[in-house]
Amino acid sequence: MNKSELVESIAKETDLSKAAAERALAATLDAIVKAVSKGDTVTLVGFGAFKSAKRAARTGRNPQTGKEIKIAASTVPRFTAGATFKSAVAGAKAKKK
């Protein structure tokens, strides 16, 4: 599913126009990005949690030359799925088998 399909699904489920659904989705994603970039955690009960995590500096290898390179420390976004989301995905996989 891509963004336009998600917008269409939201519009259908909520009886909103596609334009209104797209604005709602954009506002939601923007709020999540702003909160996580400030270091806050966004928790959607049953769905999951978005948070930022620090990744330590480390040594890697250039796959073409094999030469060691230094990879700088960084802050990255993380998503942890909630129990309801996990069980829904596990249930969907169990039904396919």
Of 59, 93, 88, the residue nearest 73 (C-alpha): 59
Provide the domain limits for residue 23: 1-40
Kindly report, residue by residue over 70-81, the tens digit of the pLDDT: 999 999 999 999
How far is it, in rounded angstroms, from Cα 44 to Cα 55?
Answer: 24
Residue 67 has pLDDT above 90, yes or no: yes
86 in any annotated domain: no
50 in any annotated domain: no
Residue with tokens 């993380």: 78
Residue with tokens 């699904």: 9
* Mean predicted confidence (pLDDT) in 45-62: 95
Residue 5 has pLDDT above 90, yes or no: yes
Global pTM value = 0.78
74 in any annotated domain: no
In the chain, the number of structural domains is: 1
Task: Give the rounded percent of residues in the chain with a pLDDT score beyond 90.
Answer: 93
61 in any annotated domain: no
79 in any annotated domain: no
93 in any annotated domain: no
How high does pLDDT run on average in the chain?
93
Tell me if residue 27 falls in helix, strand or coil.
Answer: helix
54 in any annotated domain: no
81 in any annotated domain: no
